[in-house]
A and B are shown apart, each in its own frame.
Chain A
């Protein structure tokens, strides 16, 4: 195996992040909280790698004896992880200080989780997926409990850790069965032997366990129990990370495994399973979100529902579905980043103030923040002309093209339900009046992150063409 300089360039996004973690570690030793250099360094690094990933998108390269691949679709995921994490860094800088939990490790762990995500997205082998997933998840467990003086944060971390490990158990067991039947953990080998394997019940059980393991990570019903508690208990900016890039990473693994089967035009064997998960997630997420009083919890259920919409794209079992999921993931990432970011601004020092009532009359007192939040809510509920709508449109087109109109109809019905709780926030902000003062001093870095996200939400809704082309070209 010869490792050329070309390979080195292709791998550079991953290498840079890995090197960045080490550099950050060193900087952390010599700086104080007040200097803020760590945050800006991580931001610059993540942004640079995000850009680099897009720059290298045209050169798909197999590396390490076909164990890892970069370029093409993988780089779109690289971009999403890094760009998303960069925005999370912007949101975190002042939030962590406000919450009194500023530790330099935060950025290091955050970047380590990004490294894990990149390993998942670039994997060509089940074992690589597993290693990446663990790398990411362990970082997430720590981040969820980052506010170590807060009970809820600790509870979130513990719950996440226990259920996450449980899910990993399913996953590993599934991989064992897959290996046992195929004699290899390579995804290519699985695709080649699929004709034979698909009549093997042991292999199918393995795949099912694999799907279950990842259903935990993407927060699909009935494997969603950890989501509300973790999103609510974790520091808000961490919830932003978990709900966006974390979900993108988990979806990238599912796409990684299913997309070769779709492209080889193998029958849609897993469609019923995925469609069931989709229906359950959409309806359960939308219905239960209605009764939530905490915004972070509401967003958690909304995130469950969104996982359902994205699963429609997978269930459609065609190329349009895959690009639909990727587009949806992109849109969803920026919508949730904006939403959590705005909530983190309104949140008080003691980490209270994320309930609906705390947003009363915000439309008058903080017109800008309220306006952005309202826009984000409309985008999340899938109303044009924002990104969320186009994402839904795309997966619905994919589903209807493969003859699953019923799935699209359930999708739109749950959209209607979900409108209610998204609207509720605008009702509270604009139609209710309150005399209570809300003291918010939006900081530059956080506002920058939010503005970028909102701008992308609008652009992706009004002119989705170029992003769509980018995604389609990498199929």
Chain B
């Protein structure tokens, strides 16, 4: 049943497509657009096959499926080693689902250098999938870093006015963190070789060796890894690159950035920091949870005073991802499940928000909230869609955001590690703030008097636009009403990870 080269197809489909598109004549924009869409849809179909063949009932966080291993660089014992578990699968599905929708959304907004754009998007997709399937730290690092290049160009070439500043800041900021992680990866492998007897970056082998390292070594390694991931998440106070990158990036860039790239940070924390350094993770859980909660409140407060819609959504990401990090470091099954589902939620809701903001920006060329007003009457369909997406972002019961936030709050409340209710109480206030800034923005943009006569001529959503957002809304509602479909994928995974960490630390759950 298990086809072991399926992940290779998944990984190399976008790359093959991208290379193929390079040879298309640059003038045939529509041909390139269709080809790009076809390739990303093919990748989506492959990911569905992976989903179909996936076995939910696996009991350990260190067992993977669809494993494929090939000795790559013998001299340093590096292998091309891929495999997935529930956590990777759900994020891969998010990636392959968002990419074709994003590509579709650029058919009207991206008009120059379509070929290059499609090329970079597909290479980016490969990089993202690569990060989620790598089971060798070296391979992981390659994808992690290589992905910066297409994103850098997407922001820099198709971005807004301050795109150069934003793209360089994005690049250098992330690179700074990841290079420290590179040193940590090597240091980990060298330290582990004292036990294993050979140099290896194989994740599964390191899963068993790394937790036995001395606590001091673990702490240094944990901090280096966590620092790199925290920049990507971004965790307060390392978030300053995010608003710039989001605001300057083209809509498609923002969607992918918020939808998938930020998840790599939280994915990294769950996949690497926790299982490799369980003692250090617990030791520093309080501090990281504190930063996460500060991020939740700070992001919300700053979002509240933004004048630019896109910037508002960008800061709301800081707030939402604070929740995810809190969930990860609360070490209960509920909070872990909540954190994982919240990663998906944020990808869907914030992705949808960026798309919606992008649609209206394309028409009016402004994102300033103050210049809008009363457009609910002019564009009723747009307003309705926006309402659903806004409510999903706020966390209205029945929609996806609620599930994630609720699980995280329950989990952190009864956390055996964060033995302080304050975390939960302050984080919960973030939910209220979210309602304030989102609804306030909605009110200013959609209700009240029409500020500008030009707005009267605003056209409503096109069929394509409706299709894109509606596809996202299907899942927004699905997760909200019947989350088991998705929670089931990571159920045993979260339980086994959390239990293993608590056991290592000798903590008995209440």
Instruction: Give A residues with C-beta under 8 Å from B.
Output: 323, 363-364, 378, 383-385, 389, 393-394, 396-397, 400-401, 405, 408-409, 412-413, 415-416, 419-420, 423, 426-427, 430-431, 463-465, 468-469, 472
Contacts and interface: CB of A to CB of B under 8 A. Distances in A.
A385 B146 contact: yes
A383 B167 contact: no
A474 to B, nearest CB: 13
A408 B145 contact: no
Contact of A427 (B148, B168, B176, B187): B168
Contacts of B74: 465, 468-469
A416 B175 contact: yes
Contacts of A464: 73
B370 interface: no
Given A419-B171, A423-B171, 15 more contacts: A389-B145, A393-B182, A396-B182, A397-B76, A400-B183, A400-B187, A409-B180, A409-B183, A412-B183, A416-B172, A416-B179, A426-B153, A465-B72, A465-B74, A469-B74
B148 A412 contact: no
Contacts of A389: 142, 145
A393 B157 CA distance: 30
Contacts of A423: 152, 168, 171-172
A168 to B, nearest CB: 37
25 contacts: A323-B75, A363-B157, A364-B113, A378-B149, A383-B145, A384-B141, A384-B142, A384-B145, A385-B142, A396-B182, A396-B186, A397-B186, A397-B189, A401-B199, A415-B175, A415-B179, A423-B152, A423-B171, A427-B167, A430-B156, A430-B157, A431-B163, A468-B73, A468-B76, A469-B74
A465 B148 contact: no
Nearest to B153: A430
Contact of A431 (B146, B148, B157): B157
A465 B187 contact: no
B180 A412 contact: yes
B77 to A, nearest CB: 11
A470 B475 CA distance: 53
Contacts of A416: 172, 175-176, 179
Contact of B168 (A394, A396, A420): A420
Consensus secondary structure, chain B interface: helix
A294 B144 CA distance: 32
Given A412-B180, A465-B73, A431 B167 contact: yes
A405 B186 CA distance: 9
Contacts of A413: 179
A323 B76 CA distance: 12
Contacts of B182: 393, 396, 412
Contact of A383 (B73, B75, B146, B180): B146
A386 to B, nearest CB: 9
B494 to A, nearest CB: 31
A412 to B, nearest CB: 4
B190 interface: yes
A465 B78 CA distance: 9
A394 B76 contact: yes
B164 interface: yes
A447 to B, nearest CB: 17
